[in-house]
Amino acid sequence: MIRAGRLCRGLGLLRPRPLPDPAGGSAPPSRQLRTGHPQRRDLFSDLEKEVVKFRKKLRQSLPGSDWDPFGTTKGLPPERADVVIVGGGVMGWSVAYWLKALKPQKDALRVVVIEKDPTYSQASTVLSAGGIRQQFSLPENIQMSLYSAFFLRTINEHLGVVNEPPIDIQFNHSGYLFLASEDGAADLEENVRIQRNEGAEVSLLSPAQLKKKYPWINTDGVAVASYGLENEGWFDPWSLLNAFRRKAMSMGVSQCFGEVMSFTISSREIMTPEGELTFSRINYVRVQMPNSLEYQPVECSLVVNAAGPWSQKLAEMAGIGIGPPNTQEGIKLPVEPRKRYIFVWHCPDGPGLECPMLVDTTGAYFRREGIGGNYLGSLSPTEEEEPDIQDLEVDHNFFQEKVWPYLAHRVPVFESLKVKSAWAGYYDYNTFDQNAVLGPHPLVENMLFITGFSGHGLQQSPAAGKAVAELILDNKFSTIHLEKLSFNRFISGEQVLERNIV
Amino acid sequence: SCELQQCRALARRPYGSAASPDPSKGGILQYLCNRFYDVEYLVGWSETLRYRNLRRKNAYCGYIKGIYGDNAAAAYFVLSHRGRVRFQGQETWLCVDRRGNFSYDFVELQDVPVVAIDLAGSVLNYNGLDNLVKLTALKSLDLSRCPHVDDWTLTRLQVFKDSLEELSLAGCPQVTERGLACLHLLENLRRLDLSHLPSVPTPGLIRILVEEMLPRCEVVGLAPAAGAQTSRDGREEPGVPSGDRRAGEIPA
């Protein structure tokens, strides 16, 4: 009887009537003492809702819909793709964008970007200081940087999405000021000569000019300084990453959050003049979904290794560097994570609006952060005192003992400052020659590297991404010739060194 | 297309840390863009056309430069943008008439350096400065109310660092304090007009910082210094430069 009544009420046939008042003095019903919810869901009390839900499910399970009784994991990568880009940092997204921009026909290429950390909490891109400079000594680096500056200047023409607000990467136009001691003066002048040859606007300053221009600098031990007049400064890395990502996705690149666990490789031995070599190809990329055991093999024809600090690990999965030593198979990708700190401090009397990104003779650097008297800077630790890379903890003693003395010597106002915050990020540090690795591996034919930038990756990402996309599509560089930065230099042992590494 | 929509929804998520984009304005075009690829394509195409047009208008006058030299090329560029130009030793400005026509008298002055340029309200951008960077004697430059003058354009003004004494950026909507920082290279600057810059968030503070950065320069505009007139809500008066102001301020 009760059930029938409930059913009728559930269907809206009966109106719920208030219960007649129980006889005065009787104990209240035991149900009112219960604090929790009824254990069984009462199906009939909200039958109407259930019917609606059922009809919806019924409609979904009709042929032609993607409903599946077993349920599917959302965000699985596609089963097949032309290019799989491992690493969703600024490099990965830049390659993805350029692949689509240089081949704008619809569905010309299927590109997937795989990123393991959807929050980007440890990504080198977003933890960098965000500087861009042309003051390198290697012409390739200067050209890449000049191209990137051009790209950032016209970023809305490249990365603007229809009906989206224009991109503002918060570019601060304050140049880099490199200081050189007497020993480094000749190198600095030679660098400036190369930079001017490549078209960068750089000026040389004597200590007296320096003192006149920046009265807050202590010029002890400075023989000469170089200052970048145009196209230098710093910007917001997260905005650039997002602009690349948003544009690439609007052009049809798919994004997948997961981790590459292994590759399926086919290999064969070929006799060459240098002896028998094992050439291999990656056929499948096995992508493990986050927080689950599920994985998806992605069949692909090209893999771009843009994994930054972790690119050596990824290369080893493809058999690079795990062969016997003294063979080509045994040559590792010499890129490893290095932890670098960045400290933010407050100094109300510090340098004003004209404050450049100052790089001291000792390697310590700082720049202005906003206009509220905050500054940001650090120093690369020496080879012997490299910090542990297990986590991104900050060693505050490093600032007190190493960075601050140099800063306070160079800028006496910084003798009184207050550290406000600090963070650490990973460099994709190339231990061989601290320069980028671009292009294919000689033995694993379909793995392309875009890694090893050793701290200047963010600023070169637009140019490097374009170069790798050109390499993929045309099999040659056409904008900037970067053959020097190929993997082959690790085999031949020729270092491509930069005189002045920050 | 379901997947595509999901993709787009994800792509439109407001990730940016820099500035929160203003909520979608709605409007019929936005609605049509979200619904029809054709409309979206057309809007994208018109955007491209706009950029191309801007590039064309700011193109380098290489032909005139080749025949008559840098000064004539700069004068031609300025006049074709309905600006005004003054050569050294001249009292009067070369102007355009109401219909945009101008006489080519300036070709006779090709060896006289240009000392003052007024490009107020023109479509000059970074690329357009190609025509001006060779003017080593330029003393006065008026870029007020130029919608395409941005921070990148300001960095390029460093080429005039030995000569430029007067600069007006009044009413440039894209100029921010991040670009003003690079004006410290203009060491000879005597007068800098920064009134009515809508993209500068804290005009009072920026004014102090700019004055500190350029101690020998008179800064006009931004929030007025203490004691000067302020509008009731503390914001600066919209100091739109007027035409009659310019006449009296020709540097000696």
Q: Which residues of A touch B181 (CB under 8 A)?
A: 172-174, 353-354
Are B134 and B74 in contact by the 8 Å Cβ rule? The answer is: yes
What b/e string do you get for A402-428 counting C-beta neighbours within 10 Å, with b at 16 or more?
A: bbbebbebbbebbeebeeeebebbbbb
Would you say residue B227 has pLDDT above 60?
no
Question: Which residue type occupies A410?
Answer: R
Q: Check CB contact under 8 Å for A170 and B156.
A: no
Q: Name which residue leads in pLDDT, A4 or A184.
A: A184
Q: Check CB contact under 8 Å for B12 and A164.
A: yes
pLDDT digits (tens, 9 = 90+) for A444-453: 999 999 999 9
Would you say residue B136 has pLDDT above 80?
yes
Binned at pLDDT 50, 70 and 90, residue A275 comes out as: confident
Would you say residue B15 has pLDDT above 70?
no
Give mean pLDDT, residues B202-222.
Answer: 92
Nearest to A97 by CA among A117, A79, A111, A116: A111
Residues 6+ apart with CB under 8 A from A310: A87, A337
Are A167 and B172 in contact by the 8 Å Cβ rule? The answer is: no
What's the confidence (pLDDT) of residue B210? Answer: 94
Of B21, B40, B212, the CB nearest to A352: B212
Would you say residue A42 has pLDDT above 70?
no
Cα distances (Å, whole numbers) of residue B123 to A275, B131, B152, B193: 64, 14, 15, 19
Give mean pLDDT, residues B200-222.
Answer: 91
Which residue has 């109106």 as its token pair?
A15
What's the confidence (pLDDT) of residue A37? Answer: 64
Q: Name which residue leads in pLDDT, A272 or A197.
A: A197
Binned at pLDDT 50, 70 and 90, residue A41 comes out as: low
Q: Chain B, 59-98: which have a CB under 8 Å from a chain A CB?
A: none
What's the confidence (pLDDT) of residue B234? Answer: 40
Which residue has 């109310």 as its token pair?
B145
Q: Which residues of B touch A153 (CB under 8 A)?
A: 126, 152
| Distance in angstroms (rounded) separating the CA atoms of residues A152 and A235 | 10
pLDDT digits (tens, 9 = 90+) for A365-374: 999 999 999 9
B18 touches chain A (CB under 8 A): yes
Q: Check CB contact under 8 Å for B158 and A352.
A: no
Of A66, A175, A239, the CB nearest to B16: A239
A363 touches chain B (CB under 8 A): no
Would you say residue B245 has pLDDT above 60?
no
What's the confidence (pLDDT) of residue A24? Answer: 46
Are B47 and A154 in contact by the 8 Å Cβ rule? The answer is: no
Backbone φ and ψ for B104, nearest 5 degrees, come out as -95, 30
Give mean pLDDT, residues A127-139.
Answer: 95
Binned at pLDDT 50, 70 and 90, residue A375 comes out as: very high
Give mean pLDDT, residues A304-331.
Answer: 93
Determine what percent of chain A is predicted with pLDDT higher than 90: 78
Q: Chain B, 109-128: which have a CB under 8 Å from a chain A CB?
A: 126
A239 touches chain B (CB under 8 A): yes
B225 touches chain A (CB under 8 A): no
Would you say residue A4 has pLDDT above 70?
no
What's the confidence (pLDDT) of residue B10? Answer: 45
Q: Which residues of B touch A213 (CB under 8 A)?
A: 184
What's the confidence (pLDDT) of residue A203? Answer: 95
Binned at pLDDT 50, 70 and 90, residue B51 comes out as: very high
What's the confidence (pLDDT) of residue A63? Answer: 78
Task: Tell me the residue length of chain B.
Answer: 252
Cα distances (Å, whole numbers) of residue A298 to A82, A187, A318, A443, A486: 10, 49, 15, 21, 26
Q: Which residues of B touch A169 (CB under 8 A)?
A: 18
Q: Name which residue leads in pLDDT, B25 or A484.
A: A484
Nearest to A337 by CA among A316, A310, A364: A310
Of B24, B182, B213, the CB nearest to A173: B182
Which residue has 């990504």 as its token pair?
A123
| Distance in angstroms (rounded) separating the CA atoms of residues A40 and B213 | 73
Q: Which residues of A touch B29 (CB under 8 A)?
A: 163
Q: Check CB contact under 8 Å for B21 and A165.
A: yes
Would you say residue A291 has pLDDT above 50?
yes
Of B33, B177, B184, the CB nearest to A163: B33
Of A162, A165, A173, the CB nearest to B178: A173
- The token duo for B140 is 């006065």
What's the confidence (pLDDT) of residue A197? Answer: 96
Are A86 and A314 in contact by the 8 Å Cβ rule? The answer is: yes
What's the confidence (pLDDT) of residue B1? Answer: 45
B49 touches chain A (CB under 8 A): no
Would you say residue A45 has pLDDT above 80?
no
Would you say residue A425 has pLDDT above 90?
yes
User: How many Cβ atoms are within 10 Å of A315's Cβ, its own excluded?
Assistant: 24
Q: Chain A, 208-237: which have a CB under 8 Å from a chain B CB?
A: 213, 229-231, 233, 236
What's the confidence (pLDDT) of residue B30? Answer: 84
Which residue has 């008298």 as its token pair?
B105
Three-class DSSP category at A255: strand
Would you say residue A83 has pLDDT above 60?
yes
Q: Name which residue leads in pLDDT, A41 or B22.
A: A41
Strand ranges (E), A356-487: 357-359, 365-369, 374-378, 418-430, 437-440, 447-451
Q: Which residues of A touch B151 (CB under 8 A)?
A: 171, 173
| Distance in angstroms (rounded) separating the CA atoms of residues A486 and A64 | 48
Binned at pLDDT 50, 70 and 90, residue A43 comes out as: low
Are A156 and B136 in contact by the 8 Å Cβ rule? The answer is: no
Would you say residue A356 has pLDDT above 90?
yes
Three-class DSSP category at A372: coil
Would you say residue A240 has pLDDT above 70?
yes
What's the confidence (pLDDT) of residue A145? Answer: 96
- The token duo for A434 is 């601290």
- A254 to chain B: closest CA residue: B7
DSSP state of A17: P
Give mean pLDDT, residues A100-123.
Answer: 93
Ranking A473-487, B33-47, B164-178 by mean pLDDT, the lowest is B33-47
pLDDT digits (tens, 9 = 90+) for B80-102: 999 999 999 999 999 999 888 99
B9 touches chain A (CB under 8 A): no
Would you say residue A25 has pLDDT above 80?
no
Q: Check CB contact under 8 Å for A229 and B185.
A: yes
pTM: 0.84
Query: How high does pLDDT run on average in chain B?
Result: 82
DSSP state of A35: -
Tally of CA atoms within 13 A in the half-sphere of A328 that contains its CB:
18
Determine what percent of chain A is predicted with pLDDT higher than 70: 90
Would you say residue A379 has pLDDT above 90?
yes
What b/e string do you get for B180-205 counting C-beta neighbours within 10 Å, with b at 16 or more?
A: bbbbbbbeebbebbbbbbeebeebbb
Q: Which residues of A touch B180 (CB under 8 A)?
A: 353
What b/e string do you get for B11-33 counting C-beta neighbours within 10 Å, with b at 16 or more?
A: bbeebbeeeeeeeeeeeeeeeeb
Q: Check CB contact under 8 Å for A371 and B154.
A: no
Q: Name which residue leads in pLDDT, A16 or A77.
A: A77
What's the confidence (pLDDT) of residue B224? Answer: 57
What's the confidence (pLDDT) of residue B247? Answer: 38
Give mean pLDDT, residues B52-78.
Answer: 94
What's the confidence (pLDDT) of residue A23? Answer: 47
Q: Which residues of B touch A233 (CB under 8 A)?
A: 178
What's the confidence (pLDDT) of residue A111? Answer: 96
A349 touches chain B (CB under 8 A): no
> β-strands A131-132, A233-234: how paired?
antiparallel
- B202 to chain A: closest CA residue: A371
Would you say residue B16 has pLDDT above 60?
no
